[in-house]
Amino acid sequence: MPLRAVAEVNLAAIERNVGLLRRRVAHHAPGHGARLCAVVKADGYGHGAAQTARAAVQRGAELLAVATASEALELRRAGLGAPILILGAVSPQELPDALEARAELVVWDQGFVHEIAEASADATAAGERAAPRLHVKLDTGLGRLGTRSVEQALEVVRAVINGAPALELAGVMTHLATADSDHGFAGKQLDAFTPFVAQARALARTEIVAHAANSAATLLISESHLDLVRVGIAIYGADPLNDDPSAQGLEPALALRSYVAAVKPIAPGESAGYGRHFIATQASHIATLPIGYGDGLPRALADNCDVLIGGRRYPLRGMISMDNITVEVGPEPVVQVGDTATLIGTDGDQRQTAEDLARRIGTINYEVLCGISRRVPRIYHRDGVRVE
């Protein structure tokens, strides 16, 4: 009998996606060689951070990015030696973990720069640890982290430079708000970022990198590539436009599967699931699958989703509960107990993507993938060959 729920992750697909993205960057900027940063935050967008990070580095990613200090430390403890950039805010309480992980940090406030310098000075002076590498962030329109003031950002640049040898200026960055939807606004952000990059480089004593592009910009806005692209959702084979991965040449790496635990008849007037949201109007059969919102299957998909079994599509019927869903398999079912059931992935010539599920409930593929819970085992393989 299969596992009650399992996420199968094809590391070879991740490697091919990274290879594709590196070729796209090289094609758009021949001879320039923008580097690729693989974003593996949120447990590798639900795919497993350490495993996907190794696959990305294997195929040429030169930098890894996470959102938190604990995520950086987790990668280090898993044996990853590549440079790691923490994209999110780091509190003073989290700073020791970030420094232990030898992570590069994003800064936009002089006070935090001084805190980093004080926290790292002794270890740096003793030669126990290299000086923390910092990336100064200018907010050109996303409106979250970073300063909107170019002058303030340049003061932060100066603070980092003046903090040497306890600190090192690694780069400057911004974050595009509409690379997936409004290239005009993205262009305005890049126009605002470009003079800041030039001014920061004029101040810097060593070479620094400039970076702005996310997955959508990497695929669609070549002028955003600069020295480094930060690619997240696309390395997992999901479409940053929330449409069709194959249209971008991407290969989904994750399949979410369960199995048929029971099949039984349902008569007109009988119901399936909490609240009797589905009441049969004709004789049929209901298959129960042991997967639910406790595994990350959004409850909003109730009566609004297909399940692939034996190369056929069957409608999900009734409410999604924490641990089970029910599927109508017809008056004369060919479905049997033990059959594999696919929520995300392919079965025969049928396919259902994270984007398909996301559009049904008005969300994005990011949320669907990141929502797959920890209690769902991740099984790793390379094109069907199991990887332990």
Write out the catalytic residue numbers.
Answer: 41, 274
- What span, in angstroms and rounded, lies between the C-alpha atoms of 298 and 279? 21
Angle at 278 between CA 284 and CA 342, to 5 degrees: 70
Distances (CA, A) of 62 to 56, 133, 279: 9, 15, 55
- What span, in angstroms and rounded, lies between the C-alpha atoms of 101 and 86? 10
For residue 38, the tally of other CB atoms under 10 A from its CB is 29
Using alpha carbons, select from 54, 29, 388, 368 the residue that is nearest to residue 210.
29
Parallel/antiparallel/unpaired status of strands 209-213 and 168-173: parallel
For residue 181, the tally of other CB atoms under 10 A from its CB is 10
Using alpha carbons, select from 385, 384, 381 the residue that is nearest to residue 47.
381
Crossing angle of helices 49-58 and 69-77, rounded to 10°: 70
Which are the contacts of 336, defined by CB distance < 8 A and separation ≥ 6? Answer: 260, 263
The one-letter amino acid at 372: I
Angle at 218 between CA 352 and CA 106, to 5 degrees: 110
**Backbone phi and psi for residue 133, each to the nearest 5 degrees, phi listed first:** -95, 130
**Backbone phi and psi for residue 63, each to the nearest 5 degrees, phi listed first:** -145, 145
- What span, in angstroms and rounded, lies between the C-alpha atoms of 121 and 107? 17
Using alpha carbons, select from 67, 122, 74, 124 the residue that is nearest to residue 91.
67
Using alpha carbons, select from 298, 236, 224 the residue that is nearest to residue 20.
236
Q: Is 103 helix (H, G, I), strand (E, B) or coil?
A: coil
